[in-house]
Every structure is written in structure tokens, then in C-alpha cells.
Amino acid sequence: MANLVIMPRQGQSVESCIITAWQKKVGDAVKEGDILFSYETDKSAFDEPAQTSGVLLHTFAAEGDVVDCLAPVCIIGNEGEDISALLAGTSANAEKPAGAPASGEPAKAAPAEEKEVAPAAAPEATASEGGRLFISPRAKNLALRTGVDMTAVTPTGPHGRIIERDVNAALDAGKVGTTAAVEDFLRGIVPEKREEEAVSAAPAAAPAAAADTYAYEEIPMSNVRRVIAKSMHASLSEMAQLTLNAAFDATRLLAYRKLLKEKGEEMGLSKVTINDMILFAVGRILPKFPDINANLVDGKLRRFAHANVGCAVDTDRGLLVPVVTCAEKKTLAEVSADAKRLAAGAREGRLSPDEMSGGSFTVTNLGSLGVESFTPVINPPQTAILGVCCTVNRLRADGTVYPAMGLSLTFDHRAVDGAPAAKFLKELATALESFDLLLAK
């Protein structure tokens, strides 16, 4: 009996995954436990093992395709088995992207489906007798925003008019071009004509180097990058963000770090970093400021009972923020161990989405890169984020020099006023200045 394999949901917040590689192809024998395909969420990478043995009869998506969670991915069954009932019961078959692996049992409706989504209108077909393009204002705005391939848009409005649903239909079929091409199309310049004009306008004997002057490589935005972009855009467009900058005397903090490095090896503390110490201090101070240790969701302030501190980690796949939970209850050694485990998992793509959700506050550290001050962007729906900067030498009133470490606190002014934010920053700076005493509390 044929079995449908669906895309797993790896965490409550995951809506879709991207298939990175197929380990089996249509027609291959599959044993229970064999890896069928590899996939990524916006934060982690996984392999999907087969739950049954048989033959891979059909795939619904190709490498690089984004598949909704719980949507069908492939079918495993016996060789020659009729899978038409499974194909008919899934809309994914009709929406299979061009270039997806062929099915061992092709769907009979496929030719008709292809006819519906294929580009059917050349640019000239959408113009009036006088050469004027018929397109509604809403359709025009949508086309310019999305960069749809206008040659693939089939007009269905009155008198050959392109309307908004026509543009959406082309986008749903994956027909995407560039904004410049849309602008040319709206001016009545078809791609072939634009190329001819470019050739005729070029100098007869242009230097070969001129062709490379404006050369570039176009790289599609990764699934992780798209999620980060969406989150950061929402953060800046929907919040009233304000940043406060302060600095503290890091003399005792640095001295304690030096002591741990020199004599902490026997107690397993030699690898404690400055960032671990800051995470520890933040965990102890956060519970005193419930509006900062919070999320703002649908107009309601969700105050957390524990300090669940996110630590921003730079990875090859983008910025990820795993969460050290209940940081206010943990020792410095425990916070350090958690932070290192989570950071390593984030870089290797081994963390589950749940390990990167539920944060009440975030710490991002650019001090090691020599940044003296910056404006960190809040990780929605949190109400604040702390940026850690590098140390710079400053003079005391008595003329002695001390290392000053900068802190940049961005907060959502909808949920937190300036005075409470400033008090949090001051108390944190005081705790870090006397870090050795903070450990005794």
C-alpha cells in the first residue's frame, strides 16, 4: 500500500521548510530508516528518514523548493502500484514547480494544468489599437512592487485589460522578473526590442573591458535571509524604537575574566567569556523590570515569569537567536555552558526551532568587532534588546585611565518609557562594574 510522506512541523512557529537535497530519486528502492531528503527551517537543518520500505514512486517538490509544513512531499509504495488516488487527493501535484523530479506514475491531469498556467499573452496582446497598454492602477502597482514577469500575465479584464488577479495568477505560478523589466513593459518596450535597441546604441568598437564594468552576480535570497528580512522590517515599521547608550567601568569585570582564564581550569571555568558574564548579569537584573522582560503581542503586554535571554549568534546561514531559559536561576558556569551549546548548535544547524523561541529579551555583542556604539534592532515581539560594545580607554577625574565598555539598549516606546529603560541600563551597568559582588547575591 502506497504511503504519503508529508513535511514535518519542526516547532510551533515553523510554517514552511526548504528542501535542500534529495537523497533518493524516483524509482529508487527505499528501506525503513533510509534518508529520503534533507530540509531546512528558517533556523535549523534536518534529514527525513523513511518510515516504511518500498520504492519512491513520486515526488511533489524539487531541491530548493519551499514546502508548507504538513504538505505532501513524496509517495512510497510498491513498484508499479496505482497511486492515482493519492495524486488526486493532493493539490500539491497540480502545483508542482517546473523542474521537479518526474513521477513514476504521471498524473493524467498534468497537461491540462500546464495549459492553464503557461504564459499565454505576449506584450502586444494587451495593448489597444493605438499601442496603449490596458492595465488597472492596482495591477500596475502590484506589478511594480513584485517585479512580476509581465510577459506571463494573461489579461482577463474587460477589453483585454490586465487586472490585479492576473498579476497574482502569474506570481502564484512563479513568474517573477525584475522591476526594470516591468517598467519597460509598461512603457511598451518588449524584451526583444530592448535588446535590439541596446545593441544598436552600443559603440561599433566598444572596448572589451566596458562589458565587465557593470558586471554583477545575482544570488537568490535564502530562506533564512527572507525570514530575517521579514522580521527586521516588521520590527522597524511596527515599533516605536528608541536607543539609549551608556558605558561602565569594566576594570573589575576584565580582572575577573583574567582570573578565570588563569586559574579557573581546574573548576571548568576557564572558558567563561565576557559575553557569558553579561548574559549572567542580564538574567539577574531582568526580573526587576517586568516591562522589559516581556513581549508585546496584539496590544497585550506578556510579562515573563523568568528571564529567557536570547543570545544573537552570527552563522553562515544568517543571524540566529537561541535562548538561555531561566537565566536568573543559573550559575555563571551554567549560563556559560548553555550559551556555548546553543551557539554551536546554531552554527551547525542542529537546534530545534523551540530552542530559538520564547525569548523575553535579547543580547547582541559586537564588541569583538571593535564597534563602539550601535543601534540594535528589537527581535519581535520582544520589547527591548541590549547591544554590547567594545572597551575604550577613558580618563577618570584623578587622571587615571580605565577601560569603559559601551552598552546600547533599544526599547519599544509603546511598552516601555524612557525612565524605566534608563534605570534598567544604569542598574545593569552598576552590576557589571561590581561583577564579583554580583556573584555573591
C-alpha to C-alpha distance for 295 and 374, rounded to whole angstroms: 22
Residue range 38-62: mean pLDDT, rounded: 86
Q: pTM for this one?
A: 0.61
Instruction: Kindly write down the DSSP assignment for every residue of 5-72, as one continuous string.
Output: EE----STT--EEEEEEESS-TT-EE-TT-EEEEEE-SS-EEEEE-SS-EEEEEES--TT-EEETTSE
pLDDT digits (tens, 9 = 90+) for 103-150: 444 433 333 333 343 333 333 334 444 455 678 777 887 888 888 888
- pLDDT tens profile 344-376: 998 888 888 888 889 999 999 999 999 999 999
Region 167-172: mean pLDDT is 84
Active centre residues (catalytic): 413, 417
Ordered by where they begin, the domains of the chain are: 3-116 (2.40.50.100), 123-202 (4.10.320.10), 224-438 (3.30.559.10)
Whole-number Å distance between alpha carbons of 235 and 229:
10
Query: Mean pLDDT, to the nearest integer, of 281-309?
Result: 96
Among 33-42, 129-138, 246-255, the range of highest mean pLDDT: 246-255
Question: What is the pLDDT at residue 103?
Answer: 41
